[in-house]
Chains A and B, each alone.
Chain A
Amino acid sequence: MAVQTPNLEPKGIQGLGKAIKRKEDARFIVGKGNYLDDINLPGMLYMALVHSPYAHAKILNIDTSEALKIPGVKAVITAKDLAAAGLSWIPTLAGDKQMVLADGKVLYQHQEVAAVYAETRQAAADGAAAVQVEYEPLPVVVDPYKATAPDAPVLREDIKDQMSGAHGPRRHPNHIWTWEVGSKDETEKALAQSEVRIKQHMVYPRSHPAPLEPCGCIGDMNKATGRLTVYMTTQAPHAIRTVLSLVTKIPENNIRVISPDIGGGFGNKVPVYPGYVCAIVGSIVLGAPVKWVETRTENLTTTGFARDFHMDIEIGATKDGKVTAMKVYTLADHGAFDAAADPSKYPAGLFSICTGSYDFQKAYAQVEAVYTNKAPGGVAYRCSFRVTEASYLIERSMDVLAHELKMDPAELRLKNFIQPHQFPYPSALGWTYDSGDYEKTLKVALERIGYHELRKEQAEKRARGELMGIGISTFTEIVGAGPSKDFDILGIKMFDGAEIRVHPTGSAIVRAGTRHQGQGHETTWAQIVSEELGLDVDKIIVEEGDTDTAPYGLGTYASRSTPTAGGAMALAARRIREKAKKIAAHLLEVSENDVEWVDKKFQVKGVPGKSVTMNEVAFAAYTNPPPGLEPGLETTYYYDPPNLTFPHGAYVCVVDIDKGTGEVKVRRFVAIDDCGTIINPMIVEGQVHGGLTEGFAMAFMQEIAFDEQGNHLASNFTDYLLPTALETPKWETGHTVTPSPHHPIGAKGVGESPTVGSPAAFVNAVVDALAHLGVRHIDMPITREKVWRVLRSAGIDAF
């Protein structure tokens, strides 16, 4: 019996620019999300880790006997056991290697020392508490500036004699690499000739992404089939599969990585962590599934920190405020292992975007990385590989320059913006900016906030002794890594795949190598396909995160999903449309050349009444394919982007300062973003709200700090401060749209812009409020006490 022809009239094509509600919400709002800890397998064991109380110590002895006596404890492993499997050390993403469990010594507080496997989570915890470790404390290196002192303690004895690493020569056992870009001589010459010069030191402190769902993993080795299934909170399941195969020597076809729903990632869930490896090893050794879910302390103390860039900048300008040159030196604190998550060629990530939105003719940047007794990491925390640090540096520095020139910071920016006609713009540090209209975006923001009235108000208030400040940030990002000629991670090129299968009845499943963690791909990918193919958006299901089914891709981080997989999705759809056109011609009984795609339908050129929908074409692809044409309607497309994309924005912040306590209150914050073509304005706005909130948190609260002994001072949420609804300002958002000329739909990516762009706006506003007291810079996080010190030393006091 033939399939009955269904109703093939599309009813809900919802393409680009539509603020449709999210498809993925349905399961989350009823408590039916499926996060890692929600997965329970028969016979599953629980794993708990033993951590070092010292930041640097020799391990003299590990006694597991008491732990093994606890009922329910099945096994305890240490580095020795891992060595037998060749897994005591694993390669990092940055070309270094790291211990899985402490091998002879510990290099940071809370480092993993042993893993305990047990039948219940209680027994695992009791077992971990019962493991006795004897340490001999060693001198620590906490301050990165002291790491390469001649008498500094050697941290990495395993490589102390290797005077060359993955990124070139090393000059000290604690030195990792030095990376530079731009012309030093020409820049120094230009600086020397500049009429005005400013110098500023600033620190972007160590931070942590701290998604609310901690990291976790279930290793499930099926000895009967030889297949290893790994459930993992990972933003990059395919890369993880490849790495696991290389590390464990299990053939890649025998590894399936499933990344279930992820409760926030922000870069924290990109690297491979010791806990993952131990859960997998445990499963292989014990023949049962092993679950490990981080405690919050483990999350904050051992996994992927971000930032920790200590920066010195020098900028030259003419007297009337035209910038001439920029020179930057940065010391990067990478902790005990170089596990920074950056593309291979770029050990300092895309930091060389530090010339920002301005037309610098000469620039030079040097970054040095050193080892310290801190956890490894250097993840791209809601950031496209050190872009956050770079944007903060330039946007903060432009205000320092404005202050020096006694010029309005908006005026200084307007004077130095790269102009629309200069695109594609080759930057002094080697990038080719795709598009932008910086002046327009800033003017929209200034207008929206009422900049000139605010300046007037500020002057009046200052006369009365009240403190308010206005801060601007007009950042340019660089996202969408990236073109395979330059971008790879561990040799794997950073393209991304998309697969579309259109079913006979006009519905479809689409899959991508990315893995969303709240970004809304289940909706936005469907919108791209709905736009390109004229299918009902509700009939498009999006699937990500299972390496057995999804096409290869490097994952979701660094605002890369839309620039890479989004492009792949559009081009996969267009490839389907090409084939569909042949089928349409067959149905319309004309030649293919006489068919055109108009109003999301195929029609006979110039004959609007004579058309077929994609649904009709899809049905025909399976029921009535043209003779000689391969049946079916599906494809996979791997998109290798020709360039990165360069989103930008203009943010303006207004703050009031409490003279008694030093408290800074953000009164208003206007964010005008330009992320090119907008797929779903509701989702874009949501991303901006979230990103601004994390930027706010970094400016005022979040910091991973250490004391002189290397003790971690932010090991839980009572010490690592995340803002609540009460502290978080109300955001005012808006857009300009400058499409990317090279991206298939003109989109640029937005998830990170607000985190990248906003910290400087907050800090600039606070400094602006205090500028007349002689303040030029305050490092983040801006605590009440830092402001209070300024106030009291200026003799300002109040109840």
Chain B
Amino acid sequence: MEITLKINGSEKKLSVEPRTLLVHAIRDAGLTGTHIGCDSSSCGVCTVVLDGKTAVKSCTMFAVQAEGHEITTIEGMAQGDKLHPLQQAFHDQHGLQCGYCTPGMIMAAHVLLQHNPNPTEEEIRFGLSGNLCRCTGYQNIVKAVQQAAQMLQQPAGAAADD
């Protein structure tokens, strides 16, 4: 089937089988920042943003279902050379080690902060509990999301990436 969707702001026409998982379609389109870590919708490393405000595990959606929708992946977070505050904060707080969960974790956090711009530590842990990390023990990921929340709330400066 032919599908048309937007990925990171640019329109893509993809040819897929109905059974092609969205994550495979995204990766086959050259955007390999979105990873695959399980078959049971458990790990969340494939998390992408659907239509701006919704996080989905892209292994649990068929590519054909993305017809007419807008997908944002980790590759769409930075504005040119300027990192998104979440990317900057993950780096600053040592919120990643092997990096495999990082794109999904950042996308999940991105959606979390849209629904709750100033989350408590407990709310961050709750909100990211659909995403597994084997390296960091989550503590620095939580700190990174807290830093990003602050950066995003600063009136000028860091929030000027919009």
Contacts and interface: CB of A to CB of B under 8 A. Distances in A.
In-complex A–B contact (CB below 8 Å): yes
Nearest to B42: A717
A767 B132 CA distance: 29
Contacts of A297: 39
A31 B32 contact: yes
A31 B125 CA distance: 23
A121 B5 CA distance: 23
B62 interface: no
Contact of A518 (B90, B97, B130): B97
A120 to B, nearest CB: 9
Nearest to B19: A122
Interface in B16-31: 17, 19-20, 24, 27, 31
Contacts of B121: 730
B37 A296 contact: yes
A368 interface: no
Contacts of B129: 724-726
A265 B133 CA distance: 13
Contacts of B40: 296, 716-718
17 contacts: A21-B94, A29-B87, A29-B102, A31-B32, A33-B99, A212-B37, A214-B37, A293-B36, A296-B40, A517-B98, A685-B94, A686-B94, A690-B134, A692-B137, A718-B42, A725-B124, A725-B138
A28 B141 contact: no
Contact of A263 (B78, B99, B125): B99
A25 B135 contact: no
A212 B94 contact: no
Interface string A503-523: 000000000000001111000
B149 interface: no
B100 A731 contact: no
Nearest to A685: B94
Interface string A192-223: 00000000000000000011111000000000
B110 interface: no
A487 interface: no
For B35, B136, B138, the residue with the greatest tally of chain A CB atoms inside 10 Å of its CB is B138
Contacts of A38: 27, 32
For A21, A31, A262, the residue with the greatest tally of chain B CB atoms inside 10 Å of its CB is A31
A716 B4 CA distance: 33
Interface string A686-698: 1101111110000
Interface string B105-149: 010000000000000010011101111111111111110000000
A266 B42 contact: no
Given A28-B96, A212-B43, A694 B134 contact: yes
Interface string A31-58: 1110101100000000000000000000
B100 A213 contact: yes
B50 interface: no
Contacts of B138: 689, 693, 724-725, 728
B100 to A, nearest CB: 3
A429 to B, nearest CB: 32
Interface in A662-677: none
Given A728-B137, A731-B137, A122 B17 contact: yes
Nearest to B124: A725
Given A518-B96, A725-B129, 14 more contacts: A21-B91, A29-B102, A30-B77, A31-B74, A37-B35, A212-B98, A212-B100, A212-B133, A213-B100, A263-B100, A518-B135, A519-B97, A725-B126, A728-B125
A24 B99 contact: yes
B72 to A, nearest CB: 11
A297 B136 CA distance: 24
B17 A690 contact: no
Given A122-B17, A212-B132, A686 B34 contact: no
A29 B39 contact: no
Contacts of B101: 212, 263
Given A518-B135, A724-B131, A725-B141, A31 B100 contact: no
A264 interface: yes
A29 B36 contact: no
B87 A689 contact: no
Interface in A681-714: 682-683, 685-687, 689-694
A686 B39 contact: no
A518 B96 CA distance: 8
Interface in B69-108: 73-75, 77-78, 83, 87, 90-92, 94, 96-103, 106
Nearest to A754: B137
A38 B133 CA distance: 19
Nearest to B77: A30
B32 A722 contact: no
Interface in B31-81: 31-40, 42-43, 45, 73-75, 77-78
Interface of B: 17, 19-20, 24, 27, 31-40, 42-43, 45, 73-75, 77-78, 83, 87, 90-92, 94, 96-103, 106, 121, 124-126, 128-142
For B101, B106, B136, the residue with the greatest tally of chain A CB atoms inside 10 Å of its CB is B136
Contacts of B128: 724-725
Interface residues of A, number: 57
Contacts of A35: 32, 35, 100
Contact of A29 (B90, B100, B135): B90
A683 B100 contact: no
A211 B37 CA distance: 9
Contact of B99 (A28, A295, A691): A28
A22 interface: yes
Nearest to A121: B24
Contacts of A686: 94, 97, 135-136, 140
Contact of B74 (A30, A211, A725): A30
B97 A520 contact: yes
Contacts of A544: none
A30 B97 contact: no
Interface string A531-550: 00000000000000000000
Nearest to A293: B36
Interface in A282-309: 293, 295-297
B140 A689 contact: yes
A573 B91 CA distance: 28
Contacts of A28: 96, 99, 102
Given A717-B38, A725-B125, A30 B100 contact: no
Contacts of B142: 725
B132 A25 contact: no
B26 to A, nearest CB: 11
For B36, B97, B140, the residue with the greatest tally of chain A CB atoms inside 10 Å of its CB is B97
Contacts of B92: 21
A211 B19 contact: no
A380 B140 CA distance: 26
Contacts of B94: 21-22, 682-683, 685-686
Interface string A709-745: 0000000111000101110101100000000000000
A692 B38 CA distance: 23
A686 B90 CA distance: 12
Contacts of B125: 724-726, 728
A716 B99 contact: no
B32 to A, nearest CB: 4
Contact of A212 (B17, B45, B126, B137): B45
A434 interface: no
A634 interface: no
Contacts of B103: 31
B87 A213 contact: no
A210 B134 contact: yes
A46 to B, nearest CB: 11
A518 B99 contact: yes
A31 B32 CA distance: 7
A526 to B, nearest CB: 16
Contact of B33 (A30, A214, A520, A726): A30
Contacts of B139: 689, 728, 730-731
A261 interface: yes
Contacts of B124: 725
Contacts of B100: 33, 35, 211-213, 263-264
